[in-house]
Structure 1
């Protein structure tokens, strides 16, 4: 990832306004995610889990420095409810074997660590073996119970909703209204992952590619495609990263501060069933860089306790995180590409600042050129490598870099003077 800052004038460019809010008259905003939210979710890394394991990961988020870097939500996914998930009054019942201390005790523990607590349900009627929980018919009751337990974030899945052929826009709007009136602000992540990959007959309106139509007025974030990985590890993880990237890239105009396209979780170096890594460190770093470029939520889906220190250090890179957390929340867009890969550009706060990612999709090392005109800059441009956290220097016209297979740019160089993120660049 490069930081490009003009030392001359910014050229007029359509890309300069890509990602600005358009169309929706009013946006949902819990007030809890003015920049993309960050954290960890149980689903891909540990699956159905226990309160002890969540506490253990929470401890690691703190001790590793991940929480200090912004990964401050510990998010319990499905599988937390008892085999009979409701009592006679319809109230939710956690599995006493997995959560013997109860949910309030868990959220108190997480809050005591300086973390936020996330929980899961589904917009459909609960059906064992289909979804990890279900709230249909109990939307307001469940929202108030999650609030009373002290949760700060709610993921609403759509697995049972898919099975029951519900309309996602209608179901999610109903549960959104319930969460809004729960008595406690809760970040709302809407997760309809249905696409043609499933092989399930469905209408165009039920497809995840259409979530952007209703998502901005319904939740803090909405999925833009199908799952990037599965509980049993996928051997096609790099292809899945590219698929999720492309799906998420389709509608940058839907996104803005407080409402985000969601391409699914980061899965850095997740271990497959045979012990091999689902993504290499380079591929994992590329996913992180690309998600930051798109101003996407950064939720770690691996078990962070299993990651090497080098991957922890990468996930904590403050310059990459700063791009994701830029207050404009503009989604980076593809501005150039060929058979080898693409160049993405993201408008940053400060006149003429761009975060630029050359992506090598191929399996071979490649030389890639960033044409400054493609990103809306002209004249002398200051270049900084955000992955390596080093200055490249002033360039005119373009910059060419060697990018590893399945990689993003790692560029050497040094410059005495460096424009910082968020600062206006000088005019020529």
Structure 2
């Protein structure tokens, strides 16, 4: 089932099985550690155990870093019966004698420590290390078929093994097997690996078969549900932002990579951050945008770069990114633990309202991101200097929809009151100030949809009508911005609060009976990249499947409907010509 074809009835029927797990897993972003950035495949049981013990001793486990994940390199071969032998030189505890191996002893050991265990595999026949780490001593061995250790053709069997027999809690599913084993590759031509003509073309999703990629992950998700019916696991989809995964990943995974692999450089970190920061309406309880692991302790974010390290942590925290550490914690200095273990920063990431932060201002190298927290009148705000020169970054309380406030810097602990209704911070190059702001809501019991992205789910995004280049660059449904990232404009007037979307899109809003009215000013936007805006748009509002509002107009229209008792609101903007276009639910708000 493709996410853009889901109806409201289907959503309500399948959300527990697909949109998020049936158990209470990943209701906030997962936290833990992965060895790839520190060791690649040069890893061992002793190295991972040393990090696991450090998580416990340092207090990071108590702070929430509980997933200890394995990455590529753990497998030895696939047997004739379809089972997988473990590389016992890497995991001695896997040797059960008589030629039998199992990761269950390792998983049991982590569980006895109060930690959770993660494992890695690929959606194709072969893994990433086999294509990209040719000199690794830890590649699968044996015949061509014995070295096919990916899940392709073995999804049910592998999921029963990894999450059933071995009892792992977290599984990361990479996708190099779908992209890197074409017949033109040297290692395919020499017979090392069997050809798999790519259905994922890196950087060219329009040339691949994204629907088949999605279908493979959908089938794997069903295999996971069969292996662990209670849903007490985390599924990490790793297609690096390819195959339009950002539009469908949340239907199957608890997290999905929005970008290429992160590197320990400032520019790479920002690129990965941007890939997730623009998609707050696609994230929420049980499904999270994943810009990749934290590089704190490595490269541009090591102990000699504390400003950059704190900025990296701040940005991942405010956009509700999974906090998966990547440095070798067994040798890391205390300054790394001080940054990744900051409880106030972690609390922002793990806030029970589960909202991803929304960019509310961007001017060159400066950026302001606001995240609505669970406590009434409380927000987290990141003021960001992305550039190489000092900058002063400001945001008004009015833009935060607050009337008065006090501010706390969560890195320094400094508290202050807001002077003249404006928060203003002087920032060094690459510095981010992460603040909590406690104030009085400017409009009392009214909240904008852009302030509550965790309540929103995209049902249909209209992106199929976009030209390929725009579909790759735009975000079909945005909070407080148009799909292009530009400001919302209706009737020549800038709109600060609202939802920007494509024509023929539908979004659901979880109300839980907590609101009385829904109000918005809706209209189509002039979008030169798409030509003229649609002649008319049909606007529909449903409450629990019942039509509450419908109007077809060529101009903007005001919407004001009662929603008392409604559990799920659906908003649809339909182009009467079926053409691509940009629409805005301006000032979309809910009143309690």
Q: Same fold (TM over 0.5)?
A: yes
Unaligned stretches of 5+ residues in structure 2: 1-6, 95-102, 133-138, 140-148, 181-195, 200-211, 446-592
Equivalences, count: 375
Q: Deviations over 1:273-328 (max 9, x none)?
A: xxx95982211211111111001110001112232212201211111111100112
Alignment of 1:22-171 (within 5 A): 25=11, 26=15, 27-29=19-21, 30-48=23-41, 49-82=43-76, 85-102=77-94, 103-126=103-126, 129-130=130-131, 133-147=149-163, 148-163=165-180, 164=196, 165-166=198-199, 167-171=212-216
Aligned-pair CA distance for 1:88: 1.9
Q: 1:321 to 1:410 in 2, by over 3 A?
A: closer
Match of 2:251 among 213, 217, 229: 217
Aligned counterparts of 1:278 and 1:271: Cα–Cα separation in 2: 9
Q: Deviations over 1:163-195 (max 9, x none)?
A: 242332111111111111113632100000155
How far apart in 2 are the matches of 1:78 and 1:278? 27
Pair 1:263 & 2:291 matched? yes
User: Does residue 193 of the first structure (1) align with residue 240 of the second (2)?
Assistant: yes
Compute the TM-score of the two structures, normalised by the length of structure 2: 0.60
For 1:241-276, what per-residue CA distance to the aligned partner results, in whole angstroms no more than 9, with x for missing partners?
Answer: 11011111222111111111111010102159xxx9
Greater RCO structure (CA 8 Å; 6+ sep) = 1
User: Which of 402, 409, 413 is the aligned partner of 2:433?
Assistant: 409
Answer with 1 or 2: which has the greater Rg.
Answer: 2
* CA displacement 1:118-170 (0-9 Å, x = unmatched): 00000001267127751111111010101211210000001112224233211
1:298 pairs with 2:312: no
| Residue of 305, 309, 318 corresponding to 1:284 | 309
Q: Secondary structure at the match of 1:213?
A: helix
1:185-218: per-residue Cα shift (whole Å, max 9, x none)?
32100000155xxxxxxxxxx2xxx212211110
Structure 1 unaligned runs (5+)? Answer: 1-21, 196-205, 412-417
Question: What CA distance in whole angstroms lies between the structure 2 residues aligned with 1:90 and 1:278?
Answer: 45
Closer/same/farther in 2, CA of residues 194 and 278 from structure 1, 3 Å limit: farther
Give 1:321's match in structure 2, choosing from 346, 355, 369: 346
CA RMSD of aligned residues (A): 2.7
Query: CA separation in 1, counterparts of 2:49 and 2:25?
Result: 23
Question: What is the rounded CA distance, in whole Å, between the counterparts of 1:318 and 1:105 in structure 2?
Answer: 32
Residue 396 of structure 1 deviates from its aligned partner by 3.8
Aligned-pair distance for 1:400? Answer: 1.2
Normalized per residue, the structure richer in strand is: 2
Q: In structure 2, the residue corresponding to 1:373 is in which secondary structure?
A: coil
| Contact kept in structure 2, 1:289 and 1:320, CA below 8 Å | yes
Whole-angstrom distance in 1 between the partners of 2:240 and 2:394: 35
Query: Structure 1 CA distance, aligned partners of 2:438 and 2:87?
Result: 49
Q: Is the 8 A contact 1:381 1:395 kept in 2?
A: no
